[in-house]
Amino acid sequence: MESSLSGKVALITGASSGIGAATALKLSASGIKVGIAARRLDRLESLGAEIAAKGGEALAIEMDVADPVSVDAGVKKLIAAYGSLDILFNNAGLMPVSDVDQLRTDEWSRMVDVNIKGVLNTTAAVLPRMIAQQAGHIVNTSSIAGRKVMPGLTVYSATKFAVTAFSEGLRMEVGKKHNIRVTCIQPGAVATELYEQTTDAAHRQMLEDFGKQITMLKASDIADAVVFAVQAPAHVNVAELFVLPTEQA
């Protein structure tokens, strides 16, 4: 039986690894044409080749979500190639862990640029298209840290609280008016490259120790949650999904 998603077009940011790459594979397996966007073009081309080998369609798009010009160019490239844009998965994100009194302000700024402004930039770039077609689905990756604050994750949590709030307000504003669904995915601990961004030795060790104490989620577990949300019937908006390891408190 043909998937209800077959022939749709999705843009996935942060697609060069982790949750983004896993979701690209799952969506393409459902018949969706995927625009895979990130800064690491070599990774994207390898992923695109893997998707093509499995019978899917993928377009590699070099994109820095913090740069509106880069985002706009990438969205235009995807629409020119596939003719529409039905799903946006705002997944690009950074999580360097440190205490506020360490004053790693460059890391704070980069998190704000990618985790918040990146979501706003990509949303602004795709909304005119979705409004014109009176249909679309925007999926944002927040975090359990977007609901609960933990030491060392203060600034990261602030960015993810922003994503959660933006997702909720966006759904209320564009749902009924423009027939656009909005889903906020809030993962717990997932085994990805996210933990490798921490430069503080003590926090890096803490993350590694935590990872040994529980069975962490796989990136594909979050990809399954995205597929679940986007293949829901048109009258159903899966607004929020918490996805946690069974052993995570």
Rounded CA separation 12/36 (Å): 5
* pLDDT score for 1: 36
**95 near 197, Cβ under 8 Å?**
yes
The yes-or-no verdict on residue 2 having pLDDT over 60 is no
Tell me the pLDDT of the chain averaged across its residues. 94
- Over residues 219-226, the mean pLDDT reads 97
% of the chain surpassing 70 pLDDT: 97
Long-range (24+ apart) CB contacts under 8 A made by 52-55 are 54/25, 54/28, 54/29
| Lowest-confidence segment of 129-138, 157-166, 193-202 by average pLDDT | 193-202
Q: Which of 156, 161, 166, 195 is catalytic?
A: 156
Based on the residue annotation, tell me whether 82 is a catalytic residue of this protein.
no
Q: Which of 231, 48, 218, 69 is nearest to 137 (CA)?
A: 231
More confident residue, 195 or 96: 96
Rounded CA separation 248/81 (Å): 42
More confident residue, 71 or 208: 71
- Categorize the per-residue pLDDT at 27 as very low, low, confident or very high, splitting at 50, 70 and 90: very high
**Strands (DSSP E) found in the chain:** 9-13, 33-38, 58-62, 87-90, 136-141, 180-187, 240-243
Map out the domains of the chain as residue ranges.
Answer: 9-242
CA dihedral 159, 175, 133, 26 (to 10 degrees): 60
More confident residue, 88 or 205: 88
DSSP state of 218: P
* pLDDT score for 71: 98
More confident residue, 238 or 195: 238
| Residues 180-196 pLDDT 10s | 999 999 999 998 766 67
Rounded CA separation 140/13 (Å): 10
The yes-or-no verdict on residue 247 having pLDDT over 70 is yes
The yes-or-no verdict on residue 25 having pLDDT over 80 is yes
* pLDDT score for 199: 76
First to last CA, the chain: 40
- Categorize the per-residue pLDDT at 212 as very low, low, confident or very high, splitting at 50, 70 and 90: confident
The domain 9-242 is placed in CATH, from the list 3.40.50.720, 3.20.20.80, 1.10.10.10, 3.40.50.2300, at 3.40.50.720
- Say how many C-beta atoms besides its own lie within 10 A of residue 249's C-beta: 6
**9 near 86, Cβ under 8 Å?**
yes
